[in-house]
Amino acid sequence: MTDETAKPKRVLNRSAVKVPMREQPPGERIYNFEEVPLGYTPDEAVQEAQRCLLCRDKPCVAGCPVGVDIPAFQQLAMNGDFEGALRKIKEMNFLPAICGRVCPQEDQCEALCRLSRKGEPGGVGRLERFLGDYALTHDVNVTPDVAAPTGRSVAIIGSGPAGLTCASDLAQRGHDVTVFEALHRPGGVLFYGIPEFRLPKVTLVREIDGLKKMGVKFVMNYPVGKAESLTAIRARFDAVFVGTGAGLPWFLNIPGENLNGVYSANEFLTRVNLMGAYKFPENDTPVKPMRRIAVVGAGNTAMDSARTSKRLRPEVVHLIYRRSRLEMPARQEEIHHAEQEGIDFNLLHSPTRIIDNGKGAVAAIECQQMELGEPDASGRRRPVPIAGALKVFEVDTVVIAIGQGTNPLLLADCPEIERTPRGTIVVDPQTMQTSLPGLFAGGDIVTGGATVILAMGAGRSAATAMHRYLTTGSATPRAETAPADDAPDEPADTDGP
């Protein structure tokens, strides 16, 4: 006799490798700006979820900066309940279609996945991306409910992942939220930095539409610090969150950096991504024609600059980095894609000068060749020059992608806000409150250049503390507020009969 009420037997996929994801072939994709990985079909998503062991102790969750319940969403996805799986992710992560594409999963959740003992980890990022896209393509309404209005107002300065997450969490709690953004499109680096072939903008636009439906107001072309001072904004709102990122480029400080044809990665990517320079003359903010390009650096920004350059159809793109491949900070997938696309990697090369063509423009970049020495304070082997080993690359364009700092404009009229010598804002790590009560900060403006998910985590922590501040007058949780010496053990019940 069979037991008709028994649960269906769980289907396991015992494959040691991830279900592969189809991609545009390298020979085709270097001629367009369309997305490179093409995503899973529903069948592929179910198969990948069926690899998950549903570990009871959930090691992968400890690796997720926002604590997504990874086995719980995979359990729903393996049974084809994509809407349920998506709702589960959205409890903790407001931008799954974006994080599935850009998070460094290999250093986070997937690094701790038990499947790695015998093969590849679970494809957490690929599933997150599939589920995020499923909502966008199947008209699934996952816009969170919004609580009754509290009558309290909040200004969010900067619309990157930190600001957007903070805005979403505060709007859900019933606060009146206004986002101020210096540029004409919201999204921060997600819009102006990360190229279309890695993060299609439609994904971001739909998520931002969801915020607007929740009542969040966006004021664009509004650089706070110039259009209106931070002090004035602070006076107009009950609380303020600063999420202005780290958009001020660093340079190498070598001769020739002011020549025509030298770009910061920030300017280069903004011109191409935000202004659509690759559609020139249809769009009217060009980059100058380039034949031979050198990109300096090895993080995500450098990979994005090199791969974007490649799509502008030059003869060659050299990537120049002073350490070895092991130390390259970019996501593994980006390095792999850059190699596939024919970027010429020159590791252990450190630029010494940019050479003038006699007319004030770039003719070449000279580099000192390096070798690895003893480990430095960071634990990485220090690159040391090889005496007399110089190499010259003939180029007409140099893109500097060695990192970014914070822009001092916003804080100019608020010297009382404590900052580090690097210019980042100092916050209480638990509440994200700055030295100015009611003013909170998070994301790259606090950490320096980091990751999307860390910025989102900071936006969420700040929102929790800001809600507390708006409703109780203190950002610190009640149990942790030090009692005054003469305070009673229990608060007096002043409202009682």
Give contact residues for ligand FAD (rule: CB under 6 A).
Answer: 102-104, 157-163, 180-183, 188-189, 193-194, 223-225, 243-245, 247, 269, 300-301, 304, 331, 407, 409-410, 443-445, 449-453, 455
Q: Residue 309 touches which of ligand SF4, ligand FAD, none (CB < 5 to 8 A by kind)?
A: none
Smallest separation, CB 122 to ligand SF4 (Å): 4
Q: Residue 103 touches which of ligand FAD, ligand SF4, none (CB < 5 to 8 A by kind)?
A: ligand FAD
User: Which residues in 240-268 are b (16+ Cβ under 10 Å) and which e?
Assistant: bbbbbbbbebbebeeebbebebbbbbbeb
Task: Evaluate whether 430 touches 465 at the Cβ level (below 8 Å).
Answer: yes
Strand pairing class (349-356; 362-375): antiparallel
Smallest separation, CB 329 to ligand FAD (Å): 10
Task: Evaluate whether 194 touches 161 at the Cβ level (below 8 Å).
Answer: no
Rg (CA), the chain: 25
CA geometry: angle 316, 398, 329, nearest 5 deg: 85
CB-based contacts of 459, cutoff 8 Å, min separation 6 = 161, 162, 163, 164, 165, 166, 167, 169, 241, 243, 442, 443
Q: Residue 483 — left, alpha, or beta (φ > 0 → left; ψ -120 to 50 → alpha)?
A: beta
Residue among 60 and 427 whose Cβ is closer to ligand SF4: 60
Burial of 194 (0-12, 13-18, 19+ CB in 10 A): buried
Q: Name residue 156's amino acid.
A: I
Smallest separation, CB 49 to ligand SF4 (Å): 9
Residue among 65 and 193 whose Cβ is closer to ligand SF4: 65
User: Positive or negative CA dihedral for 173, 174, 176, 178?
Assistant: positive
Residue among 123 and 188 whose Cβ is closer to ligand FAD: 188
Q: Residue 409 touches which of ligand SF4, ligand FAD, none (CB < 5 to 8 A by kind)?
A: ligand FAD
Residue among 160 and 383 whose Cβ is closer to ligand FAD: 160
The residue length of the chain stands at 497
Smallest separation, CB 114 to ligand SF4 (Å): 4
Give yes or no for residue 55 binding ligand SF4 (CB under 6 A).
yes
Q: Residue 301 touches which of ligand SF4, ligand FAD, none (CB < 5 to 8 A by kind)?
A: ligand FAD
Question: In this chain, which of 59, 84, 276, 314 binds ligand SF4, going by CB under 6 A?
Answer: 59
For residue 191, CA distances in Å to 205, 208, 386, 441 come to 9, 11, 41, 21
Q: Residue 52 touches which of ligand SF4, ligand FAD, none (CB < 5 to 8 A by kind)?
A: ligand SF4
Task: Evaluate whether 393 touches 294 at the Cβ level (below 8 Å).
Answer: yes
Q: Residue 70 touches which of ligand SF4, ligand FAD, none (CB < 5 to 8 A by kind)?
A: ligand SF4
Residue among 77 and 269 whose Cβ is closer to ligand SF4: 77
Residue among 51 and 311 whose Cβ is closer to ligand FAD: 311
Task: Evaluate whether 265 touches 401 at the Cβ level (below 8 Å).
Answer: yes
Give yes or no for residue 70 binding ligand SF4 (CB under 6 A).
yes
Smallest separation, CB 37 to ligand FAD (Å): 13
Give the interface size with ligand SF4 as a residue count (CB under 6 A): 15
Dist. CA 433–CA 449, nearest whole Å: 19
Give yes or no for residue 163 binding ligand SF4 (CB under 6 A).
no
Query: Using omega within 30 degrees of 0 as the cis cutoff, is the peptide bond preceding 385 cis?
Result: no
Cα–Cα nearest to 233, from 376, 35, 445, 436: 436
Smallest separation, CB 285 to ligand FAD (Å): 16
Smallest separation, CB 356 to ligand FAD (Å): 28
Dist. CA 162–CA 205, nearest whole Å: 16
Residue among 75 and 300 whose Cβ is closer to ligand FAD: 300
Smallest separation, CB 129 to ligand SF4 (Å): 15
* Per-residue interface string for the shown chain with ligand SF4, residues 99-138, x marking contact by CB under 6 A: --------------xxx------x-x--------------
> Tokens 């539409």 appear where?
209
Dist. CA 324–CA 372, nearest whole Å: 8
Smallest separation, CB 52 to ligand SF4 (Å): 3
Give yes or no for residue 54 binding ligand SF4 (CB under 6 A).
yes
Give the H/E segment covering residue 264. strand 262-264
The alpha carbon torsion through 301, 155, 65, 405 (nearest 10 deg) reads 30
Give yes or no for residue 71 binding ligand SF4 (CB under 6 A).
yes
C-alpha count within 13 angstroms, C-beta hemisphere, residue 123: 26
Residue among 47 and 244 whose Cβ is closer to ligand FAD: 244
Q: What six digits make up the tokens of 236?
A: 């107009």
Residue among 336 and 391 whose Cβ is closer to ligand FAD: 336
Smallest separation, CB 58 to ligand FAD (Å): 22
Q: Residue 161 touches which of ligand FAD, ligand SF4, none (CB < 5 to 8 A by kind)?
A: ligand FAD
Smallest separation, CB 121 to ligand SF4 (Å): 6
**Chain positions contacting ligand SF4, by CB under 6 A:** 52-55, 58-60, 70-71, 74, 113-115, 122, 124
